[in-house]
A = this chain, B = another copy of it.
Amino acid sequence: MSDADLPAEFALIARHFGPLAGPGALGLGDDAALLAPPPGRELVLTVDAMIGGVHFLPDDPPDLVGRKLLRVNLSDLAAKGAVPIGYLLTVAAARDTPDAWFAGFAAGLAQDQAEFGTTLLGGDTTSTPGPIALSLTAIGHVAPGTMVHRAGAQPGDGIWVTGTVGDGALGLAVAQGRLADPSGFLLQRYRLPQPRVGFAIARIASAGMDVSDGLVQDLGHICRAGSLTAEIDAALVPLSEPARHAGADWLPIILSGGDDYELLLAAPPTREAQLRDAARDAGIAVTRIGSFRAGPPRVAVRGPDGQPMVLARRGWSHF
């Protein structure tokens, strides 16, 4: 049979996703992918879904949707100190989804998998009567015993974040017409997070995760995992110029909004220099925003006025 005889589903996969397939993907022409794990390494696996109308806006450019889907998963790998290997993908889309949407989506994946050194291993494409539903499983590797966990922070460890915090949540507000964004910076940060791949935090960070559901909520996870109190200083939280310009009213959103995909790390004072060196080698900014102390698992935020700050909403939940 020629390709023209193939059902449309297979032709679509071959046309758009075939070029993304790496070694082990068997040209996406088999039922499974084959992966020879790097000898002597452990694998790190993560999965994140994105739903049209929930995690992205229906008219977002499809290449940015593809890039964001890959990046949010690469961000999880980066937060664990893992080096990306490959990924598997599920796309459920309406039957009348234009071919151009798939072309744009795949072009975005192609661009970013080249940038971050990963390839498509396999996937499933299906139809849905609902909004586009995407799921991506990313696989990386670490030296045995060196994955950075949520647990592991100790009293006295510093609390660090990469890049700037709050741009994602403000970008969503821009997309919803609730905030002006003359430069387009915030909207771009919401649409296209920057996974901190290449930041070699293994053996340096004592704990870590990425900030996807809001800085305070995610810091609370590290507190619970380590049975620690976190004390952070809102004035130390690194802000982009556009976030600073948004004004003080937006500070609660900045501290509790999601979609930053910066890394939130714990590091003992004795490894501060190593952390800074690793960040510099990766071209990534890191900022110390507070520290952990013994105490019940909770996050104490000192506001810009030096007084304790209470956040009505700590972060994002889907249910």
Instruction: Give the shortest distance, in Å, between A39 (CB) and chain B (any CB).
Output: 9
Known pairs A31-B76, A122-B46, A124-B47; A224 contacts B1 (CB<8 A): yes
Q: Mark A280-319, 1 if CB is under 8 A from B, else 0.
A: 0000000000000000111000000000000000111111
* Stretch of A48-56, A110-118, A177-185 contacting B (4+ beta carbons < 8 Å): A48-56
Q: Which of A43, A76, A121 has the most CB of B within 10 A?
A: A43
Q: Tell me which residues across on chain B come within 8 A of A26, comparing CB atoms.
A: 149-150
Instruction: Give the shortest distance, in Å, between A295 (CB) and chain B (any CB).
Output: 12
Where chain A touches its partner, the secondary structure class is mixed
Q: Which of B31, B37, B45 contacts A32 (CB 8 A)?
A: B45
| B54-A129 in contact (CB<8A) | yes
| A36 in contact (CB, < 8 A) | yes
| A32-B7 in contact (CB<8A) | no
Q: Tell me which residues across on chain B come within 8 A of A90, comparing CB atoms.
A: 47-49, 90, 135
| B54-A149 in contact (CB<8A) | no
| B43-A37 in contact (CB<8A) | yes
Per the CB 8 Å criterion, the residue count for chain A at the interface is 76
| A209 in contact (CB, < 8 A) | yes
Within 8 A of B (CB), among A123-137: 123-131, 133, 135, 137
| A12 in contact (CB, < 8 A) | yes
Q: Tell me which residues across on chain B come within 8 A of A127, comparing CB atoms.
A: 51, 54, 318-319
Q: Mark A224-252, 1 if CB is under 8 A from B, else 0.
A: 11000000000000000000000000000
| A47-B122 in contact (CB<8A) | yes
List the B residue with the shortest CB-CB distance to A48.
B124
| A317-B133 in contact (CB<8A) | no
List the B residue with the shortest CB-CB distance to A13.
B319
* Stretch of A77-85, A154-162, A187-195, A271-279 contacting B (4+ beta carbons < 8 Å): A77-85
List the B residue with the shortest CB-CB distance to A212.
B31
| A124-B49 in contact (CB<8A) | yes
| B129-A31 in contact (CB<8A) | no
Residues of A within 8 A of B (CB): 1, 7-10, 12, 26, 29-37, 42-49, 51, 53-55, 76-77, 79-80, 82, 88-90, 92, 95, 121-131, 133, 135, 137, 139-140, 144, 147, 149-151, 209-210, 217, 220-221, 223-225, 296-298, 314-319
List the B residue with the shortest CB-CB distance to A79.
B31
Q: Which of B45, B48, B209, B225 contacts A33 (CB 8 A)?
A: B45
Report the separation of the CA atoms of residues A9 and B315 in the bound assembly, to the nearest whole angstrom: 11
List the B residue with the shortest CB-CB distance to A46.
B32
List the B residue with the shortest CB-CB distance to A36.
B42
| B88-A47 in contact (CB<8A) | yes
Instruction: Give the shortest distance, in Å, between A69 (CB) and chain B (any CB).
Output: 12
Known pairs A9-B318, A126-B318, A127-B54; A33 contacts B49 (CB<8 A): no
Q: Tell me which residues across on chain B come within 8 A of A149, comparing CB atoms.
A: 26, 30
Instruction: Give the shortest distance, in Å, between A233 (CB) and chain B (any CB).
Output: 21
Known pairs A7-B317, A9-B319; A128 contacts B31 (CB<8 A): no
Report the separation of the CA atoms of residues A224 and B149 in the bound assembly, to the nearest whole angstrom: 46
